[in-house]
Structure 1
Amino acid sequence: MRHSYGPNWYAATMGTGIVAVVLPGLPFHVPGAVPVALVFWLAASLLLVATGAAMLLGLREDPSLLRRHYDDPVMSHFYGAPAMALMTVGAGSIGVAQDLLGSTVAVPLAAVLWTAGTVLGLWTAIAVPYRAITRHEVADDSATGGWLMPVVPPMVSATTGAALVPHLAPGQARETLLIVCYALFGLTMIAGFLVLNQLWQRMVRHGALAPAAVPTVWIVLGFLGQSTTAVHHLGALAPSVVPGYGHALGMLAVCYGVPVWGFTVLWTALALTLTMRQLRDGLPVAPTWWSFTFPIGTVATGSSALAAATGLVLFEVAAGLAALGLLVGWVAAAYATWRLSARVALAWPAPRPAANR
């Protein structure tokens, strides 16, 4: 039997880890948020290790597994998931697990995971589109939200990299990291809108996505929400790190974030109506259900960021609603994973009895 796990399963780590990031960062007090977030961070860390072990077992069974996934026009896009999973766990190690681990462990761990995730994310942002251009056969109606997966990791690098900037000594190193994070933000912002345009045209011209792919329309929110979060976190640091022009970068948090938040509301309504329509007709249980988690979580972090920047209750309410949506999505995705895991376990071949001597 061929191994059934692929890079798409790292979305479970992303979806669990984002809960640990969202709860403590809400713009209002939630009793027990930090202990609950710590539990989710520990679960995400275990999932990261378990998924990595499952992939290694798959490579032992089939050494060509990674190559086959890379050559697959659908699965290759999900190579962005391992990069984002690494950085999500790293962000949680600073944001919620620092008291547990201690700063001497939490910060280096976050730095290692950020570096690994950033390098892998830059590879996916270049190599997967290159493969699509040179090798994949892509039909006019094949675009899904999954096409955003390889280009979004640099935006996650920009967001999580902001948490590492204050831990560097003032000077060139700190300024360089901040500017690199802004460059990573720009990489995904431009590439993301290009891909979003392709998805929009595909749905308008060819109708709703295939049933199992419908949840991937939520991935667009991951791009939108993560960009709003990144530009805020970087903008909060910019005036003190690069005082010559940091104020202008700080203003970008609102000038960019509010218009994009408006489009996020539109896309949330569209994704919700398309999902409800498919639920009525039957929504197949699939790993794509994890699309209900991380993207919605970034809407919560983006709304929380705008609440901090503007002080408006509007964004506080939006952050709370998105956090509730994230928890509902996590329960749905966890249920889907349990169903699929049980199916895989039942299909696994039983060991052959020893021959009688």
Structure 2
Amino acid sequence: MSYLEHSVKSVPTGLRKVLFLNWPLALLLASVCGIGFLMLYSVAGGSFSPWAEPQIKRFALGLGVMFTVAFVPIWLWRNLSGVAYGVSFLLLLAVAFVGEERKGSQRWIDLGFMDLQPSELMKITLVMFLAAYYDWLPAKKVSRPFWVLLPVLIICVPTALVLKQPDLGTSILLLTAGGGLMFLAGVHWAYFAAVITSGVGLITAVFQSRGTTWQLLNDYQYRRIDTFLDPSADPLGAGYHITQSKIALGSGGWTGRGYMQGTQSRLNFLPEKHTDFIFTTLAEEFGFIGGVSLLSLYALIIVFCIGTALLNKDRFSSLLTLGIALNFFLFFAVNMSMVMGLAPVVGVPLPLVSYGGSAMLVLLLAFGLVQSAHIHRPR
């Protein structure tokens, strides 16, 4: 045993856990949240109200949640993964009966002090449950049909509930993250080839069903597809969001117009400027350099998660960390693609930057799980 290892082992357990925290990851998360506070202050016209102040309070609460989760042994989270998934599933069911409806979607439950979006919680508990499932399942059974069918049901049933709300963006994230974790767990590639082939057939059926009695998507979802394919066809209607987004992105240039100097957001041309389209505000004010800087911070968070997963000898911890990293990547990749016109507008916020209590708290809870896996890994 080296002198350093002996010194660490001589430190009390509680303090040792603090020393073993992945502090670079924690600082990266705080930096991204700090950028979010600055942008929310900007889009409100230089005011902490109504968005920046509540977001800062949620961050403080989320930070406490992250550290609390981090100090709990990872084996306890593995044992509670089924319960966490079950609670999330029941909350999704409850949305259909007591959920609040906004802009045609019923996704939230009013808790009094905040609005909870159960689909956000499902993104993390689904990863937890699948990681525990593949930790329990012997490697030789991973690709057998029966043992593949079970996780498919675990993924598809809550996805169907979310799609019914309707929330196409979150449904896509759940399917992709769940499928990605199955691939990381070692499920044979032939299953994914079959799914991709079926997906092509489904996309064809979606377009064929438009205007029929068996139409597969809602009208507003078809309009989003039309807008994605040709935003200029209806620049003042369905194409307004993406048209204004591209104007804001292009007007930022290399270095941007300057903090709080963005015309698209300050003159309210840019819709949903504090949630789904906040990246365009950042790009307008800080330009290409600002956008790449935020993307670099996101990339570093992914790199630290992958590093933690590779160093961990526990299968559950590795799969959980990789699953959360994949979820986080899908979050910002889909949002950035959406606001740049590379993907249809599906209503996915920019992680830790967009205004929203449920998304921030759940993401910080998720990174608390990553920290728990890092702290309690065999050394």
**Same fold per TM (> 0.5)?**
no
Give the number of the structure with larger relative contact order, counting CA–CA contacts within 8 Å between residues 6 or more apart.
2
Larger helix share, 1 or 2: 1
Normalised to the residue count of structure 2, the TM-score between the two structures is 0.31
Normalised to the residue count of structure 1, the TM-score between the two structures is 0.32
